[in-house]
Chains A and B, each alone.
Chain A
C-alpha cells in the first residue's frame, strides 16, 4: 500500500433528504481515516455553497432533495466545480435512470441499499479515476 496516497484526506459534502441517512453517513464515513465528511444538507440549493466553503473533493448527492432534483442542477454544478467529483447516491435502479445520471455529468452512481463499504469504495474510485 502506498502510504502517501492514503494520507490524502478526501473532503466530502452530502446532500440527502432522508434525515436518518443524513445523521448516519457522516460518522460512518469519518470512521475511515482518509475520509472527512464536512457538511450535510437536505437542499440542492445549498450544495454549491458547501462545496465552495469546504473545498469538497466529492459531493454525494441524493436525486430527490427537498427543494428540487439534483439531476437538474448537476450539469451546472459540474461546470462550476470541475475539480469536484459528483457521486449520485439513490434508491433508484432503473437502467434508463442511471444512463440519465451519467449524461448529466455524474462521476459515479451508487444505490443506497449497498453497504457503507461500497460507498467508501465508490468515493475512492472517483478520486483515483
Chain B
C-alpha cells in the first residue's frame, strides 16, 4: 500500500488518501440512506401484503367460521402454501382458542390461545406477526393471525454486498484518478524535490528544476530556479570573496614566514658573530663615531673586573698599564680623528692584579652613504704569544751563548795543539818533552772529537735520526762499559769510585751503547765537577717496577734554581763554567734524550752548591729479562778478567788491522789478520776464530759478501761478526745486519769496544755452553 500511496508523508499519499476518503464517505452516506429507505419500504410492503392476505382469509373464512366449518376453514388456510413468505396462519375462535392453523414445515407452532388486537403488527424472532379480526356482518367471529418471515439481515447483507462492489469500483476509479492527478500534480513537485535533493547532496548549484505545464507549479519552479540563480550568484560572489581572502591570507602567511626566516637568519647571524666574538680570548668591542666605547665583551670586562659603564667612553684607558696610557690614548684619538684602522698592543691591569698583554684590532664601520658609524674590533689575548716570544728570545739567547761556548770549546784545544806542534818542531827536545807534546795533542784531539760526537748525537736525537739497537744485555756489562770509558778521567783526578750493584746480575733490553754512553756522561760530569780526591758512587738497583742507575758525587752541587732546566740543551750552571772544565752544556741533554728514547726518565738532585749531587736514570721494569745463569758475585768490576778468545781482523788497510790486532793481543786474546776477503775465509776455515772484525770496503770482495759466505760455513755460523764501515749511515748498518753481522762500528774501530763485545759474547757462550753441557749430562743419566 505504501507503494500505492507513496510515502506516509508524501504529497502523493495524502492526495490518494483524500480521494479515497471522500469517495468512501460519499458512498457510505448514500448507501445508508438508500438502505434506510429500502428497509422502511420492505416493512411496509410486507405488512400490507400480510394485511391483504389476512383480509382475504378473513372474508373467505368468515362463512366457514360462522358455520363452524372447520374443514373449509382449514382448506382456506392451506391455500396459503402458495405464499412462500407466509410461515404460519392460525385462526382463533372468539374465545381465543385455536380454531385452525397452517404452518410451513419447520415453522414454529402457533400458541393455543391468543388474545389479539385487530390490525396489530409486530416483529419478533425474525418474523412479522399480523393479527386481524374476522367479522361478518359486524359480528365478531374470531381472529386470524399470520406470521411471515422478516429476514432483515439478509436484506442488509445483500445491500452491503452491492455497496461493497460499488465501493470497490469507486475506489479503483478513485485510484486511477488519483494516479492521474498525481502525475500531473505530484510529478513536478517530486522533480523539484529531486533537484533540491541533488543540489543538497551533490552540491551542484548549476542544477535547475524543469518547467511544468501546471501554472502554479510553473511559477513555483520559476521561483525556485530564480532562488537558485540568486543563490548561485551569491555563491560565486562568496567564492570570489573567499578566493580573494584566501589569497590575502596566503600572502600574509608567506610574508610572515619570510619575516620569521629573516628573523631566524638574523638571530643565527647574531649568534654566529657572538660566538666568533666570544671565541676570541677577550671578545669584541664597539665604539661610536666620536670614539667612545659603547660595548665590550663580557670576557674583556671580566678580565679587567669592571662593568660596561666603567669601560664605556674612554674608561678603558684608565685600566691601561701606566707606561701605555699616554701612547695608547694619543694613538686612539689620532685614529678617531683620521677615521683609520686600529692596531695596537698594550697591557691592561686585570682583576687578578696582573698586567695582561692585549692586541686590539679594529676597523671603522660606515653606513650606506659612507658616513662613519664608529669602530668595531677585537681584543686578543697575546699572553701566550708574548710568552712564546720570550721563550724564543731566551732560546735565541741560549743558542747565541751556546755558539759562543761552542766556539770557545772548539778553540780551547787548538792552542795546546798548535803550541805542542810548534814544540815538536824545536830542536834539542828531550824524549820526555816530545812525548808530553804528543800526549797533549792526542788528548786535546780526543777532547775535540768527544765534543763533536756529543754535538752530532744531540743533533741526531733532536732530528729523530738516532735509532736504538736494543737487545738484552747484562746490567753489569752496562756499568762496566761506562766505568771503563771514564776510568782515565776519574783516576787522573784521584777520585774514589764505588760501585754498588745487586749480587745477581740480570739482563735488560736496551741499546747497550746508548745507555752506557748516558751513564759515562753522568760519571764524566761527576768526575769533572768534583774536586780532586772526591768520591763518586755508581749505584744499580732493581725493583719490580724499574731499574735505577744513579751517580752521586761530592762535587760542586747544583743550585736549586738550576735544577729544573739542567737537562735542557745548552744549559750549563754558571759555577760549572767558572771551573774551566769547559763543555757545551749538552751532556745532560744528551743523557735525557738517550734515556727518553728508552721510555725512561732522568732526574737531578742536589742539596745546593758545594753539597754534591745525584743524577738518577730510571728505566721501566718491563725491560728486565731474567738471566738463565747466575752470575758470580763481584762480576760487575771484573772487566779486565774476562775470558780470552780468538780474533780474526780483516782489513785491506794493513796498519789498521795490525794495530787493532796488537792492542787485542796485549789483552791476552789470540789474534789473526787478513788483508783480503779470500784470505780471511781461508784463515777462518783453518783457525775457527770466535770473532771476526771485518772491514766492509775491500778490493777483492765486500765485507757484506764475505760475511754471507762466513755465515754459510759450519765454523762461521754462530761466531761474532763485527762490521767496520767508514760512515755509519743507517743504510750501511741495516745492510750489515742483513748480511749477517752482529754489530756495526764506524772507523777506526775502537779496540775497547771490540773487546767489550768480544768479552760479552764469550761470557754468554760460556754460560749457554755450560748449560748445554749440563743438559747433555742430565740427558745421558
Contacts and interface: CB of A to CB of B under 8 A. Distances in A.
Interface of A: 17-18, 20-21, 23-25, 27-28, 31, 64, 66, 69, 91-94, 112-116
A116 B419 contact: yes
A85 B745 CA distance: 53
A57 B218 CA distance: 161
28 contacts: A17-B580, A18-B416, A20-B416, A20-B420, A21-B415, A21-B416, A23-B436, A24-B420, A24-B423, A25-B419, A27-B429, A28-B419, A28-B422, A31-B426, A64-B579, A69-B578, A91-B408, A91-B411, A91-B415, A92-B408, A94-B404, A112-B412, A112-B415, A113-B414, A113-B415, A115-B418, A115-B422, A116-B418
A35 B611 CA distance: 45
A24 B412 contact: no
Contacts of B440: 20, 23-24
B352 to A, nearest CB: 39
A69 B412 CA distance: 18
Interface string B390-412: 00000000000000100110011
Contacts of A112: 411-412, 415
A28 B423 contact: yes
A114 B418 CA distance: 9
Contacts of B408: 91-92
Contacts of A31: 426
- Chain A contact residues: over half helix, strand or loop, or mixed? loop
Contacts of B578: 64, 69
B443 interface: yes
A118 B393 CA distance: 38
Given A21-B419, A24-B423, A91 B412 contact: yes
Interface string B418-445: 1110110010010001001100100110
Contacts of B580: 17-18, 64, 66
Contacts of B423: 24, 27-28
Most chain-B CB neighbours within 10 Å: which of A31, A92, A115?
A: A31
Among B418, B429, B436, B444, the most chain A Cβ lie within 10 Å of the Cβ of B418
Interface string B202-214: 0000000000000
Among A20, A23, A112, the most chain B Cβ lie within 10 Å of the Cβ of A20
Interface of B: 404, 407-408, 411-412, 414-416, 418-420, 422-423, 426, 429, 433, 436-437, 440, 443-444, 578-580
A113 B415 CA distance: 5
A116 B437 CA distance: 15
Nearest to B578: A64
A27 B414 contact: no
A116 B422 contact: yes
Given A20-B440, A20-B444, A27-B426, A113 B411 contact: yes
Q: Residue among A23, A93, A115 with the most chain B CB within 10 A?
A: A23
Contacts of A18: 412, 416, 580
A92 B414 CA distance: 14
A90 to B, nearest CB: 10
Nearest to A27: B423
A66 B407 CA distance: 22
Contacts of B418: 113, 115-116
Nearest to A21: B416
A24, A91, A116, most chain B CB atoms within 10 A: A24
Contact of B443 (A20, A93, A94): A20
Contacts of B426: 27-28, 31
B419 A24 contact: yes
B411 A24 contact: no
A124 to B, nearest CB: 18
A92 B405 CA distance: 9
Contacts of B429: 27
Nearest to B444: A20
Nearest to B410: A113
B113 to A, nearest CB: 197
Given A27-B423, A27-B429, 19 more contacts: A18-B412, A20-B420, A20-B440, A21-B416, A23-B436, A23-B440, A24-B419, A24-B440, A28-B419, A28-B422, A28-B423, A31-B426, A91-B408, A94-B404, A112-B411, A113-B414, A114-B415, A115-B422, A116-B422
Nearest to A31: B426
B168 to A, nearest CB: 156
B407 to A, nearest CB: 8
Nearest to B426: A31
Nearest to A94: B404
Contacts of B407: 93
A94 B405 CA distance: 11
Name the residue among B411, B415, B444 with the largest chain A CB count within 10 angstroms.
B415
Q: Which 7 A-B pairs have the closest CB atoms?
A: A20-B416, A24-B419, A112-B415, A113-B411, A20-B440, A64-B580, A91-B408
